[in-house]
């Protein structure tokens, strides 16, 4: 199969979907690889490294789309590429169609097969591609919080570290999933007073095994979240808020009660989500202020560490790329129910229930469509 690797165009994105080493594996499996020029530079991979393993370098995205069947990338399809989408394409990427209506409609209009990393499952019910990116995002969230509290970045100058003779800084993490546990782990390792809140008892038990005994693990209600946040120096939100859920864990009216200089880092970046005042920002313009509280809501945090994130992502996605390339889209989906879970659109139809509900569109079962 002809596989295309694009240069990512999202603000600040440094990842590339496929390393030269993964490209070699695909080429050895008798697939053709087309790489957009400079696609790997943000992760430290040169065009020459891809050429050395047998990939063909293309000068622009249009050429990659024209040459390829499987488009293998990192982030959503952007408007500049909508016209390149064709019915024969298989798109494999983080897509987030439920929060990106224009992208979803472009995928539908093209009638391509679009598969979202974030919805692919495994036999345990986990999300094997989302999981390592979430863990990395949680750790980066703490690092960015540490950085953004510097005076030079507009923060109050609080160092998130235990300093002799000074009160211990307080870090509140909401959501004990992969991102939340990773954020709490790093915050605790710096000697902070860490409070991790969540409703999933299984995830709280996992956190109890991982984190220092000094970490407070609390069942999340609106009151416990509010009370925990009142004296926080840093609040990290890792809760994915269902699109049809009413209310918020932190309301706009709550902000005036937070500690002056408190910083909110929202990993989930859901507009109208767990934190009412959150909306996605970019790496080049990451923060904004509401009621005196700075919000940091960058929705592609792993991109800040392009090399590490690329290596992790490429390792996680390669088995699915090989399966799609070896079998073709329809056969691979028929054989693998976990890969099938990732299908967002197929033959001009919405096959992801959450997206269909969000945009009041008809949902089609991918199983029925494949039969």
Q: What is the pLDDT of residues 183-213, one digit of tens each?
A: 999 999 999 999 999 988 888 999 999 999 9
Question: Tell me, what's the pLDDT at 98?
Answer: 86
User: Which are the contacts of 10, defined by CB distance < 8 A and separation ≥ 6?
Assistant: 75, 76, 78, 300, 303
Question: Tell me, what's the pLDDT at 244?
Answer: 63
- Inter-residue contact 201 to 224 (CB < 8 Å): no
Mean predicted lDDT score pLDDT of the chain: 95
pTM: 0.93
* Interatomic CA distance for residues 268 and 310, integer angstroms: 20
Question: Tell me, what's the pLDDT at 269?
Answer: 87
User: Which are the contacts of 358, defined by CB distance < 8 A and separation ≥ 6?
Assistant: 98, 99, 243, 244
- Inter-residue contact 130 to 118 (CB < 8 Å): yes
Specify whether the backbone of 12 is left (phi greater than 0), alpha (psi in -120 to 50) or beta: left
Q: Check whether 23 has a pLDDT greater than 90.
A: yes
Residues 249, 255, 256, 261: what is their CA dihedral angle, to the nearest 10 degrees? 140
What's the mean pLDDT in 237-265?
89
| CA distances in angstroms from 128 to 6, 114, 119, 206, 366, listed in the order given | 22, 18, 9, 17, 20
Question: Tell me, what's the pLDDT at 201?
Answer: 86
Question: Tell me, what's the pLDDT at 279?
Answer: 92
3-state secondary structure of 89: coil
Q: Check whether 243 has a pLDDT greater than 90.
A: no
Where does residue 358 rank: exposed (0-12), middle (13-18), buried (19+ CB within 10 A)?
A: middle
φ, ψ for residue 165, nearest 5 deg = 90, -5
What's the mean pLDDT in 206-222?
93
DSSP state of 169: P
Query: Which long-range contacts link 161-169 to residues 24+ away (Cβ below 8 Å)?
Result: 161/190, 161/191, 161/192, 162/190, 162/191, 162/192, 168/192, 168/193, 169/193, 169/233, 169/234
Active site residues per annotation = 96, 270
Locate 97 and state its tokens. Answer: 């169609």
Segments in the chain forming alpha helices (H): 20-28, 47-52, 61-67, 101-110, 130-148, 178-189, 201-210, 222-229, 306-327, 329-335, 337-340, 353-358, 366-370
Q: Among all chains, which residue has been given the structure tokens 């798109």?
A: 91
Reported confidence tier of residue 83, pLDDT bands at 50, 70, 90: very high
* Interatomic CA distance for residues 169 and 117, integer angstroms: 36
Question: Tell me, what's the pLDDT at 228?
Answer: 96
* Interatomic CA distance for residues 9 and 97, integer angstroms: 17
Reported confidence tier of residue 321, pLDDT bands at 50, 70, 90: very high
CA nearest neighbour of 86 among 60, 103, 58, 109: 109
Per residue in 25-37, pLDDT tens?
Answer: 999 999 999 999 9
Question: Tell me, what's the pLDDT at 332?
Answer: 98
* Interatomic CA distance for residues 225 and 73, integer angstroms: 37
Segments in 158-305 forming alpha helices (H): 178-189, 201-210, 222-229
């Amino acid at each position: 199969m002809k596989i295309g690797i694009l240069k990512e165009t999202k603000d600040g994105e440094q990842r590339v979907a496929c390393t030269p080493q993964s490209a070699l594996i695909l080429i050895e499996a008798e697939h053709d690889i087309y790489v957009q020029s400079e696609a790997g530079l943000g992760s430290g991979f040169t065009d020459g490294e891809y050429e050395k393993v047998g990939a063909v370098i293309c000068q622009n995205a249009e050429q990659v789309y024209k040459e390829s069947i499987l488009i293998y990338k990192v982030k959503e399809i952007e408007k500049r590429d909508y016209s390149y989408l064709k019915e024969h394409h298989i798109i494999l990427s983080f897509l987030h169609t439920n929060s990106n209506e224009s992208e979803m409609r472009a995928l539908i209009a093209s009638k391509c097969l679009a598969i979202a990393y974030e919805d692919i499952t495994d036999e345990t019910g986990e999300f094997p591609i989302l999981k390592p990116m979430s863990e990395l995002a949680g750790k980066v969230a703490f690092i960015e919080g540490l950085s953004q509290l510097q005076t030079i970045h507009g923060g109050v100058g609080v160092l998130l570290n235990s300093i002799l003779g000074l009160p211990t800084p307080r870090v509140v993490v909401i959501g004990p999933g992969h991102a939340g546990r990773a954020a709490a782990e790093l915050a605790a390792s710096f000697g902070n007073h860490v409070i991790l809140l969540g409703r999933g008892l299984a995830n709280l038990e996992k956190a109890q095994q991982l984190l220092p005994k000094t970490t407070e693990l609390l069942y999340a209600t609106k009151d416990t979240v509010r009370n925990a946040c009142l004296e926080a120096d840093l609040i990290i939100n890792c809760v994915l808020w269902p699109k049809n859920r009413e209310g918020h864990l932190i309301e706009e009216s709550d902000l005036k009660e937070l500690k002056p200089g408190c910083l909110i880092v929202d990993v989930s970046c859901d507009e109208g989500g767990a934190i009412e005042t959150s909306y996605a920002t970019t790496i080049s313009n990451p923060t904004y202020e509401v009621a005196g509280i700075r919000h940091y809501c960058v929705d592609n945090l792993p991109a800040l560490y392009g090399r590490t994130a690329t290596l992790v992502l490429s390792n996680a996605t390669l088995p699915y790329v090989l399966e799609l390339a070896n079998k073709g889209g329809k056969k691979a989906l028929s054989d693998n129910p976990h890969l099938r879970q990732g299908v967002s659109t197929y033959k001009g139809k919405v096959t992801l229930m959450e997206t269909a509900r969000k945009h009041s569109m008809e949902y089609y079962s991918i199983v029925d469509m494949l039969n």
